[in-house]
Each structure stands twice: as C-alpha cells, then as structure tokens.
C-alpha cells in the first residue's frame, strides 16, 4: 500500500512513531518478511488503544485475542491455523505467573509465535517484560520491540480538548507571580578604628533587565501551563493524565491550583512492596492468585493496607492499581529496589 493510500486510524492521537514502526512491519510482511512485534508500556499508557489502531490500518485479515486474567487453559493461547494473516495478542503478561511451573503457557505461546506463518503483534506490561526478558530472554522471539513513548504536553492537550467545543472551557492562571527586584539594597558592614560602620550596597539584576526588554520573553497561556503540569505529574502517561484532568476540572473552569501533585504517601514493608509490584506488573490479580505467587500467609491484611493507602482498587475480586497513584508507586518501588 503506497504512502498516499495509507489508511489513518480514527480516534488515535499520538503514537505516530509507533504507528510508523508498525506500518513498516506490515509492509515487510507483505514482502515476505515476518518480523513479530512486542509493544511494551506501563499500565494505562495506551497499549490497547494502539492495538485498535492496528486493526484499522492492517490490509489483511486480523484476528485479535485480548487476555484479561491469568491464563488457565491451553486453548486460550492457540493461534489460528493457516498463513498470511495478522494476529494481535493484547496483555500477554497474563501468560505467566511467578511460581514453579508458571512459565508453561508462556513457553507454549512463544513456541507458537515462532512457528506461526502469521505476523504476530503482542502487547506487554513493561515491568513483566523486563522480568521475563531477564529470566526467559523473550525479546529473542520478537524482531521488533516497541516501547511506547511518553506523551508530550502538546499531544495531551490535543487528546483532552478533542472532547470539548471551542471556548467551552475556562483556563485561568491563579499562580502567585514571582516578584523579583531589578535593584536590591544590601547592608555592607565593615570595621574602622574599632567601630562597625554600615553603608548601603546596591546590586543590579542584569538578567532581569534583559528579560524585561527581550522580544523573546513570552507569557505562557494558562492552558499550556495546566497541561504541562498534568503531563509532568503523569510522567507522560495518557491514561493517568486523562484521569488527573477529570479530577482537576471544575467544569467549565480549570486552574493550575486545581491540579494536585501526587497526594499518596507510600509506607510499606518489603513483603507489601513485593505484593504491590505483582499487581503493578500483572495489572489484575485475585487474592488467591496473589497468595499463590507471593507465598505470603497475610495477603488479606496486606491488601487492606494497600487499599487503605489508596494504592490499589478492588473490582469484583480482582485487585488493580489506582491509576492516579501510578507515579508514586513506581517511585517508591524504585527507591526500595523492588523494580529497576
């Protein structure tokens, strides 16, 4: 398919470099080159969104398999027979568990990928991927490993504002202006004939003068300040950023002060940190699964602690990360050496 004929995915903002990489893999497959793909990213960063985009741009038959819980049956990982199609497998971190014999389904899946005559495009939680590549060298099965790039503030702004009419929102800058003097008086003391004398000394801020007269000095718009703050707190994660936006907007008004820095204080011992890491890397686990994987007897108590600190949420027996706590969790687990 020529560049001028490329179909653009509907409803996709960002991921331009990633989509270009995917298009190259699809074009190579058209030419007889099978280069299977692994897409890796944090939770909420848009892996599934990218899968939906691939479904739109692929010009061959597409089969999509989305895993939503730990695999318990070989039939769940069977790839379609035949050749020449595109197979999309979302959330492949559900293929393993950190227990004795816990790589059985993963190994079977990787063998099937290598043997398949379809182009296989997969997505993985980045923390599971790092662990699996360390202990299982899974990157050797995928010619093309794509790590999703963080969103820029500009991309985030486009992502958010697409859902609103022009001039629907009110962006207000309520920051306290920083006051800087051009000329500052300091007391200068010195001793003469056993007497201490003080005289005024004046310093001039030449950088401030230059800034005042510089044509390049521009005042940022309130909306740009707000989106930059949200994106910084979210570390460029679009899913987390959208949630922060929703929590910060006091419709139709939003101000920088409405956007709160990470409010979570992570206080965990090592077993609790490891349990939280399991939820971070697997994204959804039940209490029995956590007990089996961690080997801890006090899993229920530990989960209550994580819930109390609002680091995780519970949905129909499945424990998942609280999206707005993601950056705090990653920072805390990195400091303690649980993740690297």
Calculate the CA 133 to chain-centre distance. Answer: 20
Strands 183-192 and 195-204: antiparallel
Q: Name the phi and psi angles at 269, rounded to 5.
A: -85, 180
pLDDT in tens, 135-156: 999 999 999 999 999 999 999 9
Whole-model pTM: value is 0.86
- The pLDDT value recorded for residue 202 is 67
Confidence of residue 2 (pLDDT cuts 50, 70, 90): very low
- The pLDDT value recorded for residue 214 is 63
- The pLDDT value recorded for residue 1 is 46
Residue with tokens 């800058």: 173
- The pLDDT value recorded for residue 91 is 99
Burial of 96 (0-12, 13-18, 19+ CB in 10 A): buried
List the CATH code of the domain at 3-149: 3.40.50.300
Is pLDDT above 80 for 237?
Answer: yes
Under CATH, which architecture does the 270-335 domain have? Answer: Orthogonal Bundle (1.10)
Residue with tokens 């687990």: 333
Every domain of the chain and the residues it spans:
3-149, 151-261, 270-335
């Amino acid at each position: 398919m020529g560049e001028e004929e490329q179909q653009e995915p509907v409803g996709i903002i960002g991921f331009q470099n990633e989509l270009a990489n995917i298009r190259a893999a699809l074009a190579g497959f058209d030419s007889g080159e099978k280069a299977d793909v692994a897409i890796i990213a944090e939770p909420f960063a848009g892996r599934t969104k990218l899968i939906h985009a691939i479904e739109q741009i692929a010009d061959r038959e597409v089969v999509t398999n989305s895993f939503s819980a730990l695999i318990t049956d070989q039939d769940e990982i069977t790839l379609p027979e035949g050749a020449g199609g595109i197979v999309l497998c979302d959330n492949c971190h559900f293929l393993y568990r950190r227990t004795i014999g816990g790589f059985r389904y993963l190994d079977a899946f990787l063998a099937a990928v290598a043997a398949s005559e379809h182009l296989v495009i997969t997505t993985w939680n980045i923390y599971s991927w790092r662990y699996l590549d360390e202990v299982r060298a899974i990157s050797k099965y995928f010619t093309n490993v794509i790590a999703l790039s963080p969103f820029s503030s500009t991309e985030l702004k486009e992502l958010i504002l697409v859902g609103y009419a022009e001039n629907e929102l009110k962006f207000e800058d309520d920051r306290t202006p920083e006051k800087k003097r051009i000329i500052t008086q300091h007391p200068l003391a010195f001793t003469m004939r056993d007497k201490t004398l003080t005289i005024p000394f004046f310093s001039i801020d030449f950088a401030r003068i230059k800034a005042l007269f510089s044509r390049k000095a521009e005042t940022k718009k309130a909306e740009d300040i707000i989106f930059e703050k949200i994106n910084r707190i979210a570390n460029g994660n679009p899913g987390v950023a959208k949630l922060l936006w929703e929590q910060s907007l006091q419709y139709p008004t939003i101000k920088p002060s409405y956007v709160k820095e990470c409010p979570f204080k992570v206080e965990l011992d090592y077993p609790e940190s490891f349990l939280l890491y399991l939820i971070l890397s697997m994204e959804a686990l039940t209490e029995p699964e956590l007990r089996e994987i961690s080997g801890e007897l006090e899993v229920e108590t530990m989960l209550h602690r994580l819930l109390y600190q609002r680091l995780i949420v519970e949905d129909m027996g499945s424990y998942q990360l609280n999206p707005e706590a993601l950056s705090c969790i990653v920072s805390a687990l990195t400091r303690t050496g649980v993740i690297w």
